[in-house]
């Protein structure tokens, strides 16, 4: 993994500048499409107009604080120097009403108006906060997402969901609202720590398992730490899968529920971890959840060859998660307490009444949603899987 040399950014005071028309054109033409590789930075900068006409929209940047010391991808350095920037410390804690108020205040003090555009640079947490703020400031202003984590690229930047956590409940306040553009540039991944690569890899794996056996074939024998990975290709395929699902069911009435594969157990583990003060990354928890769901799927499938491929996938995920570095987290997750997990699973917002409704594979690359899962079944599956 290549690591850029840490550099401290000497930022000039904010200068409010006019966007060039070219950005407006780019937004209309590419509405909600992923841009691979990135949208040219030149489009966002002042005085970069191609037609001589200058747009009324000014840019305000919300950026992950990590890029005060880490070098950002080269296309974005100028953006951070030439537009007003508000820095956000990433992490679940930034998805709060207090942080949202801080950003609203900054926008107001900077006299941002409803024609302006908020450019959000960061992982899933900064994007969830930024998109929520943009969707509510002056009843909603335009925003552009520039994801910097693998999870942000293949998952959080797609699908128009934003939100903050409230009263201890994750993503409980927010909305569905699409960005005007998403600029994906895999160069950001060069500085991403291995554990964050693993988090994103788990979501990529999920996309493949629920709807694309070809991508699964590609991922199955790789790990996110392989030097030879063609990130452009893999990220493009991962984003296409999510985009396709979201396009067919934007408000999550049916097919979009598939994206929750592994998440019912994963969220239960995260809630248990939060209660016990145990550090647990979302991607790792989802990985454990997918292993349990794969065992459940295998027992419901009749064809032996399909059963075997599903169980092989579970073995692949185990080998990615159960490593020397992650051995404590793995052991914490798999200790035998399915009853406690069940208690949290019942609270999942996908459920109806007291039945847990979950996602199950029919085969690799195809899945069904709203499958009822009983406590007895879950306990048996858990004991078999771990």
Bridge partners of 148, per DSSP, are none
For residue 233, what are its two tokens? 């290709």
* Active-site residue, 171 included: no
336 sits near ligand NAD (criterion: CB under 6 A): no
What residues from 287 to 316 belong to the interface with ligand NAD (CB under 6 A)? none
The nearest distance, CB 98 to ligand NAD, in angstroms, is: 16
Active-site residue, from 43, 199, 212, 260: 260
The nearest distance, CB 339 to ligand NAD, in angstroms, is: 26
Active-site residue, from 139, 221, 227, 251: 139
Query: Can you tell me which of 64, 181, 185, 270 binds ligand NAD, judged by CB under 6 A?
Result: 64
Active-site residue, from 178, 207, 257, 263: 263
Active-site residue, from 82, 99, 282, 360: 282
**Number of residues engaging ligand NAD in binding (CB under 6 A):** 29
CB nearer to ligand NAD: pick between 119 and 298: 119
| Closest alpha carbon to 18 in 54, 53, 42, 67 | 54
The nearest distance, CB 70 to ligand NAD, in angstroms, is: 5
* Active-site residue, 4 included: no
In sequence order, the 6+-apart residues with CB closer than 8 A to the CB of 243 are 34, 158, 159
148-185 CB burial, b ≥16 within 10 A, e <16: bbbbbbbbbbbbbbbbbbeeeebeebbeeebbbbbbbb
343 backbone dihedrals φ, ψ, rounded to 5°: -55, -45
191 sits near ligand NAD (criterion: CB under 6 A): yes
90 sits near ligand NAD (criterion: CB under 6 A): yes
In sequence order, the 6+-apart residues with CB closer than 8 A to the CB of 210 are 258, 259, 261, 359, 361, 365, 366, 367
CB nearer to ligand NAD: pick between 84 and 152: 152
Bridge partners of 363, per DSSP, are 366
For residue 37, what are its two tokens? 């590789």
CB nearer to ligand NAD: pick between 153 and 317: 153
* Active-site residue, 139 included: yes
CB nearer to ligand NAD: pick between 91 and 372: 91
* Active-site residue, 343 included: no
CB nearer to ligand NAD: pick between 22 and 120: 120
Q: Please list the helix, strand and coil fractions of the chain in percent, rounded to the nearest 5, in that order.
A: 50, 15, 30
* Active-site residue, 256 included: yes
The nearest distance, CB 200 to ligand NAD, in angstroms, is: 7
CA gyration radius, the chain: 21
Put residue 122 in one of left, alpha, beta given phi > 0 → left and psi -120 to 50 → alpha. left
What residues from 118 to 177 belong to the interface with ligand NAD (CB under 6 A)? 122-126, 128, 148-149, 151-152, 155-156, 159, 161-162, 171
CB nearer to ligand NAD: pick between 20 and 164: 164
What residue is closest to ligand NAD based on CB? 124
Query: Can you tell me which of 28, 69, 91, 225 binds ligand NAD, judged by CB under 6 A?
Result: 91
* Active-site residue, 252 included: yes
- Helix (H, G, I), strand (E, B), or coil: what is residue 122? strand
Query: How, if at all, do strands 181-183 and 169-176 pair?
Result: unpaired
CB nearer to ligand NAD: pick between 162 and 180: 162
* Active-site residue, 86 included: no
In sequence order, the 6+-apart residues with CB closer than 8 A to the CB of 383 are 336, 338
CB 256 within 8 A of CB 61: no
Active-site residue, from 187, 196, 252, 270: 252
For every residue of 138-207, which 3-state class applies, written as one string?
A: HHCCEEEEEECCHHHHHHHCCCCEEEEEECCEEEEEEEECCCCEEECCHHHHHHCCHHHHHHHHHHHHHH
Catalytic positions are 139, 161, 203, 242, 252, 256, 260, 263, 267, 282
Judged by the rule CB under 6 A, the positions of this chain that interact with ligand NAD are 64, 66, 70, 90-92, 95, 122-126, 128, 148-149, 151-152, 155-156, 159, 161-162, 171, 188, 191-192, 196, 199, 282
């Amino acid at each position: 993994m290549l690591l850029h040399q840490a550099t401290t950014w000497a930022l000039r005071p904010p200068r409010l500048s006019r966007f060039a028309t070219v950005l407006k054109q780019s937004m209309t033409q590419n509405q909600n499409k992923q841009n691979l590789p990135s949208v040219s930075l030149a489009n966002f900068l002042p005085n970069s107009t191609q037609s001589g006409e200058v747009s009324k929209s000014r840019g305000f940047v919300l950026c992950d604080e990590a890029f005060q010391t880490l070098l950002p991808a080269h296309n974005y350095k100028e953006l951070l120097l030439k537009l007003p920037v508000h820095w956000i410390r990433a992490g679940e804690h930034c998805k709060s009403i207090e942080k949202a108020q801080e950003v609203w205040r900054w926008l107001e003090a900077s006299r941002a108006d409803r024609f302006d555009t908020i450019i959000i640079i960061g992982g899933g947490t900064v994007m969830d906060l930024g998109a929520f703020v943009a969707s509510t400031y002056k009843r909603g202003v335009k925003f552009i997402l520039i994801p910097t984590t693998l999870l942000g690229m293949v998952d959080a930047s797609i699908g128009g969901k934003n939100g903050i956590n409230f009263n201890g409940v994750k993503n409980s306040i927010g909305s569905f609202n699409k960005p005007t553009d998403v600029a994906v540039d895999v160069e950001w991944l060069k500085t991403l720590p291995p554990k964050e690569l693993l988090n994103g890899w788990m979501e990529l794996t999920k996309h493949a398992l629920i709807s694309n056996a070809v991508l699964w074939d590609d991922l199955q024998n790789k790990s996110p730490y392989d030097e030879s990975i063609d990130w452009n290709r893999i990220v493009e395929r991962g984003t296409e899968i999510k985009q396709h699902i979201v396009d067919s069911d934007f408000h999550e009435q049916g097919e979009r529920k598939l994206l929750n594969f592994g998440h019912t157990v994963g969220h239960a583990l995260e809630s248990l971890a939060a209660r016990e003060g145990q550090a647990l990354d979302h991607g790792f928890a989802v990985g454990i959840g997918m292993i349990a769901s794969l065992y459940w799927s295998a027992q419901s499938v009749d064809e032996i060859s399909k059963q075997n491929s599903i169980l092989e996938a579970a073995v692949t995920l185990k080998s990615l998660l159960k490593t020397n570095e992650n051995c404590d987290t793995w052991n914490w997750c798999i200790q035998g307490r399915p009853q406690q997990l069940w208690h949290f699973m019942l609270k999942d917002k996908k459920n109806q009444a007291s039945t847990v409704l979950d996602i199950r594979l029919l085969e690799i690359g195809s899945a069904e949603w709203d499958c009822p899962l009983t406590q007895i079944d879950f306990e048996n599956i858990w004991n078999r899987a771990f």
